[in-house]
Structure 1
Amino acid sequence: MTTEAAKLYIAFHGRVIEHLGIDMYQSPVAAIAELVSNSWDADAKTVAVKLPPSLTRDSEIVITDTGEGMSLQQCQDRYLKVGYNRRKDRQSEFTAGGRPVMGRKGIGKFAGFGIADLVVVETVSKDTGERTVFQLDVARLTGEADGYASETLLDVEVVEYSGPDESMRSKHGTTIHLRNLTLKKRPNSDHFRVSMARRFLLMERADEFKVTVDGKAIANEEDVEKIQFSFPADYTEKETPAGLSIDDGWGIEKLSNGEKIRWQFHFYREPIHEDELAGISIFSHHKLSQRPFLFNLSGGLGAQQGTSYLSGRIEADFIDDQEKDLISTERQRINWESDAALPLASWGQERVQTLLRIWKDRRAESKVQAMNARIEPFSQRLGKLERHERRIVDRALTSLAKIAVISDEQFEDLANAILSAWEGGRLRDLIDDLGRTSEMDADALVGILLESKAMNALHAAERVKIQLNLIEGLEERIKNRELENAVRDYIADNPWMISPEWDTFKVEKSLANLMKMVGASSLDTLDGWKGRVDLVLCSGHQLLVIEFMRPGVTADWDHVGRFERYIFSLREAVIANRGGDFTSVTGLMVADNLSRPAGFTEKLSGLRRQGMDATDWPGLLSKAKSQWKDYFDILFDRAPGDGRMQALASSDVDSSNPES
């Protein structure tokens, strides 16, 4: 037989293509998963999915398997026969290779039309070596140009055909090209692999079936580090259900109707935000039959917030073995109204409710243990409290630990905030109430979080007000000529006065030690040096060199030039001493007055761009006050409606009492 003589036809109304392909498989993962299922049933050892690098007119998705392939007649009898039921027609629940058959409805072959308008099938038969290539065009099959196709037999275009060939039998397999793609965006390969793996329970149990996407294997690998509790493995002896056995981390149980299931549930450390992971998935014969759900439970659940942490899988082959098909056409959901499915639904509801209660207790226990481990840094502060106060704060922290939705990081922040609030004499009634509360609803928790946010902002704002008052006090000292050593020492103890960003700086008192650290012994030979650095502050790897001019002296070109040489020389020493403690040097020179000859202002601007500043006292303090006021405004915006914050904004804080 030649290509010209080869004939094929399809026997159905064209509208069926829309119902079975276009309407039901618009997700690329769902569509290709159906084609992968066909490869499993064809005893393929490998399936390779190749996604296009980009979406263009010529882009295609290619699925290649090493299955048994089809002869020309099998293409007609199996592939082009709508509703072909492999199990019934071959009178076996297993493939020739001994695999449980996935296919049942005989319509998954049309899933490709959900994401492509043209499907090209190339297949080589393992039995005969025949090679057949045919294509299905959705526009022609549905008769879009002239209304729906209604012929009893609709010709299918055979692109190529070659008869039986013994030498071709070893090249058996099927390749499907999905062309004229209707996708809005290219699927991400990594996400595609994960989503594909979650539609099967194959990868961990079928050594001779490997699926790759763009050359990388898909696998049902859990994010182990993200899982906090895993059941049935984490059951205690007392919690273990009667009749449960465990095999490689999976629970095995019999339902009330005698059917056997395998299951595994995980609780993650953080809420799950992926639809394909959140909830319980059910598989039949390794293939997804129910998308993640919670057995239709709603409301009244103990520890209901735990549902957002729960992910699980159940293997229930009997669901797909019923005489009446219980699985929806697109294999997304089970008919839970059927008598055969009711025992599984009942088991699932009871198991989810029980595990949620266990999770709540286990999560609280874990929080308390974490609290005990983290409380140690606060022990010194707790030790300063009266005994009855310690009991109240301890109770509050324990109650807080029982709120399962709080992450470890949030718990640590809130625990610290509670201690700070108690020490500051704030929120004592609220903290006492928190300690006496065995259960806490979301509204109460939100109230605590909002109050903590306002409290922290208020504490910081009070400190900023104190800083501003102290700066004003320094201005008075400057006016009274309380220079030079007293002011220098004052700034050394309070570097934040120069700028809020210098709050972490500390004084480096030993000039000799500084020279040693930066390897700058050669500075002693620099003209005019003579150890003339007035103050050096350090933070991390940064040095800040400050020079205070003598009272009454106006800084001019000579002073600025000498100061610039100091900083440049220190920087050279730091660069040369690569193994030293410091990597950067900045400088600040403060004088009573600045000279203003032509070009001097431009010189100062250039210095600032290079990390050196020369200013007078009014300029320094004015800039510091401006920065601290900006910081106060930011804090005020965090709790603008708080009466305490409003009162603080309209009044001065006593700088002599930082705790006021």
Structure 2
Amino acid sequence: MSDLYEMTVDLNVLDHLGINLYSNIAAVITESVANAWDADAELIEINIDKENDLITIKDNGIGMSISDMNQKYLRVGYRRRVEDTITGEVTAKGRPVMGRKGLGKLSLFSIANCIEVQSIKDGEASAHGLKMSIADIKDSVRLRERSYKPVSLEVDALSVTKGTQITLGEIKRTRLGKSVQALRRRLARRFSVIGEKFNFKILINGQPVTMEDRGDLSALQFLWKIEGSEVDTSAATKVKETGILENSLPGWESNIKVSGWIGTSRTPKELDSEELGNLNGIVVLSRGRLFHENILDRLNDGRLFTKYLTGQIEADFLDANDKPDIATSDRQRVQEDDERYIALIAFLKSALNKVESKWSDWRKKHEVEKAKEESPALKQWLDGLPSGFRKSAESLIAQISSIPVDNDVDQKLMFKHGVIAFERMKLRGSTDEFGHSLTNPQQLLELLGDRDALEASLYRDIVNSRLDAIKQFNNLLDQDAKEKVLQEYLFNHLWLLDPSWERASGSEAIESKLIAEGVIIDDLTKKEELGRVDIAYKTSAGKHLIIELKRAGASVTLHGLNEQGTKYFDKLKKICRSLGDKNPNIEVIFVLGKEIPEESSNPERIKHSMNAISPGSRIMYYDGLIHSAQNSYASYLEKSKELDKLELLVDNI
């Protein structure tokens, strides 16, 4: 009985092709499922027992006799379509035969060290079976035997009553995969003939494999069916728009057609499956089984929308019986220089061009609708934009919506920054530039972060801070309040005294010497004793500024101011010269609450007296500061209402 079976193949070929040909369990099980299809099976039961390192694959097909086992199953390279003259190309039930090279059976050795096969052919009374192991095959190779002879199974070890049963033992853990669920999903993507329509059912650990297990259909937002295709897309429950693609290219023969579907997800992240890996790809099937695992990779198409693509197309002409076999040994890729493959590439490029044209419009429409629905404030902003700006703004919102984020809070933050950025671009007149950047997320992020955008944001911050200062000035009615605000703002915001003093800064070295000389009194009690509210030293654009605030109700004389200012000037000039500045530009500025008598009787005398201290020295008044600020920043005040509305809108997004 031990010599009942014989595998006629060079054992070195068996060693290399069988053990190393396939890389994962899904590819191996695919071969067994394809064999069951070719055997006219209606049910395949796959059971995975991880605890005992066993996988059982059982079908209810026509089964095999001992002769079939030897001449067909154990014969590596058996080409059924050519050598079986009765049902070679089509099964008894009319199914197109999937198998072609006769190498798939070797794939079992890729994941298992021990294999048992038992079968019973329709019409025969008893079953038979064999056992093979990698260890025995390697022994035969080492002994240079011409063939490997599997061991026959004992009668009491046989359990099959219909079809064929394959038991894989001593499973290689590295090839077993992540989970049973992952295998179910992968098989769902590798066959298009699963289901009642084809009378072909697959169970994994008792649970049927369905189209819903694919994972890609449930992620679709938009779907394009290829005309004439009868594909089950019932699992695509979230589809918002559908389209039709032609099934051939001009110049193709009438019998050459493509079927299937292409779809896009709402975000690339939705195509990233923990169990399946990245679903961003288009699988190609022929005769109902996987022929090319991801043809999208071969298109070299870097357009943004391809990151959202998934799909399944069938091209039976790739595996025509009267043409050479162009599938690789593991039947997951093809020979790319074949004219049929080149034609398929041309078809897909044409189809994807049509997909992109619709995708952009549909995505903008639905992403904007979704964003508006989730954020009334965002809807208010979009609806309030002039029509010339609205289209670019909607493109921006659609782009932001599709950027993968971890949670809703992050997306809302992006919307806020997007709104502010768009408003900045409006001020710059650069919304066209902004719109052009929306085809590439990286360019969008770079544009939001460039130097001009940063300056625009600083501009808005300056507007807000200055408006706050001016509003407080404008709302102050009593002198004490004016005095308090001036003390807080004037030395930190010199623009209130002169708009050109934007970047004034203090000089600690000179200021310390002024304190030592008694010009600046650094003690509050002494300040009050001397009747001085505050004094500070600043530098701006090459000038040295000594600024003194008098109490708003204090009465002063022009003579007193001249005498005081001259003393300040002389002291500071002496200090500057000691530090190397021989001709310092010094101005002394007094800020008063009450007008001095000469203001109305002899203004020229005031001017002469101040110039006598130093050119540019002068007297300013609190009320004059308010009036000057209002005039100088009238445009800021005009914009304040618009900015306040924008601030409220952004806070509400």
CA shift digits 1:119-161 (9 cap, x unpaired): 11111221312311211111221337xx545333332211235
User: What is the percent sequence identity of the aligned residues?
Assistant: 25
Aligned partners of 2:127 and 2:161 also within 8 Å: no
Q: CA deviation at 1:205?
A: 6.3
Structure-1 residue corresponding to 2:354: 354
Please state if 1:47 is matched with 2:40: no
Q: Secondary structure at the match of 1:265?
A: strand
Q: CA deviation at 1:21?
A: 1.9
Q: Return the match for 2:209 from 191, 206, 218.
A: 218
The 1-side partners of 2:379 and 2:59 are apart by 64
Q: Which runs of 5+ in 2 are unaligned?
A: 234-243, 463-646, 649-653
Aligned partners of 1:13 and 1:148 also within 8 Å: no
Structure-1 residue corresponding to 2:221: 228
Q: Residue type of the partner of 2:65?
A: S
| TM-score computed with the length of structure 2 as normaliser | 0.59
Q: Return the match for 1:157 from 142, 151, 155.
A: 151
Structure-2 residue corresponding to 1:283: 285
Please state if 1:89 is matched with 2:91: no
**Residues 287 and 382 (structure 1 numbering): CA distance in 2 closer, same or farther, change over 3 Å?**
closer
Q: Residue type of the partner of 1:328?
A: T
**Residues 154 and 191 (structure 1 numbering): CA distance in 2 closer, same or farther, change over 3 Å?**
closer
Q: Residue type of the partner of 2:80?
A: R
Q: CA deviation at 1:310?
A: 0.6
Structure-1 residue corresponding to 2:123: 127
Q: Secondary structure at the match of 1:260?
A: coil
Q: Secondary structure at the match of 1:196?
A: helix
The 1-side partners of 2:66 and 2:427 are apart by 79
CA shift digits 1:415-472 (9 cap, x unpaired): 33344678xxx946688534653311444422366589999x99xx99xxxxxxxxxx
**Residues 104 and 343 (structure 1 numbering): CA distance in 2 closer, same or farther, change over 3 Å?**
same
Please state if 1:116 is matched with 2:112: yes
Please state if 1:33 is matched with 2:26: no
Aligned partners of 1:62 and 1:175 also within 8 Å: yes
Q: Secondary structure at the match of 1:121?
A: strand
The 2-side partners of 1:436 and 1:100 are apart by 55
**Residues 427 and 203 (structure 1 numbering): CA distance in 2 closer, same or farther, change over 3 Å?**
same
The 2-side partners of 1:186 and 1:232 are apart by 32
Which stretch of structure 1 is more off in the superposition, 254-263 or 190-199?
A: 254-263
The 2-side partners of 1:71 and 1:367 are apart by 60
Alignment root-mean-square deviation, CA: 3.9
Structure-1 residue corresponding to 2:309: 310
CA shift digits 1:5-60 (9 cap, x unpaired): x6111111211123322111130111111111111111111111111233xxx421
The 2-side partners of 1:93 and 1:246 are apart by 23
Q: CA deviation at 1:330?
A: 0.4
Q: Residue type of the partner of 1:117?
A: N
Q: Residue type of the partner of 1:310?
A: L
Please state if 1:68 is matched with 2:52: no
Q: Return the match for 1:139 from 127, 135, 147.
A: 135
The 2-side partners of 1:200 and 1:280 are apart by 13
Aligned partners of 2:248 and 2:347 also within 8 Å: no
CA shift digits 1:80-116 (9 cap, x unpaired): 1111111122123111222111111111111110011
**Residues 33 and 193 (structure 1 numbering): CA distance in 2 closer, same or farther, change over 3 Å?**
same
The 2-side partners of 1:76 and 1:34 are apart by 18
The 2-side partners of 1:403 and 1:339 are apart by 39
**Residues 87 and 395 (structure 1 numbering): CA distance in 2 closer, same or farther, change over 3 Å?**
closer
| TM-score computed with the length of structure 1 as normaliser | 0.58
Q: Residue type of the partner of 1:306?
A: F
**Residues 246 and 178 (structure 1 numbering): CA distance in 2 closer, same or farther, change over 3 Å?**
closer
Q: Secondary structure at the match of 2:298?
A: coil
What is the count of residue pairs matched by the alignment? 432
**Residues 77 and 416 (structure 1 numbering): CA distance in 2 closer, same or farther, change over 3 Å?**
same
The 2-side partners of 1:123 and 1:84 are apart by 18
**Residues 451 and 217 (structure 1 numbering): CA distance in 2 closer, same or farther, change over 3 Å?**
farther
The 2-side partners of 1:310 and 1:200 are apart by 19
CA shift digits 1:166-195 (9 cap, x unpaired): xx9x92211111112112266401111001
**Residues 226 and 178 (structure 1 numbering): CA distance in 2 closer, same or farther, change over 3 Å?**
same
The 2-side partners of 1:19 and 1:433 are apart by 63
CA shift digits 1:463-517 (9 cap, x unpaired): xxxxxxxxxxxxxxxxxxxxxxxxxxxxxxxxxxxxxxxxxxxxxxxxxxxxxxx
Q: CA deviation at 1:379?
A: 6.2
- Structure holding more helix per residue: 2
CA shift digits 1:585-643 (9 cap, x unpaired): xxxxxxxxxxxxxxxxxxxxxxxxxxxxxxxxxxxxxxxxxxxxxxxxxxxxxxxxxxx
**Residues 125 and 189 (structure 1 numbering): CA distance in 2 closer, same or farther, change over 3 Å?**
same
The 1-side partners of 2:450 and 2:427 are apart by 10
Q: Residue type of the partner of 2:72?
A: R
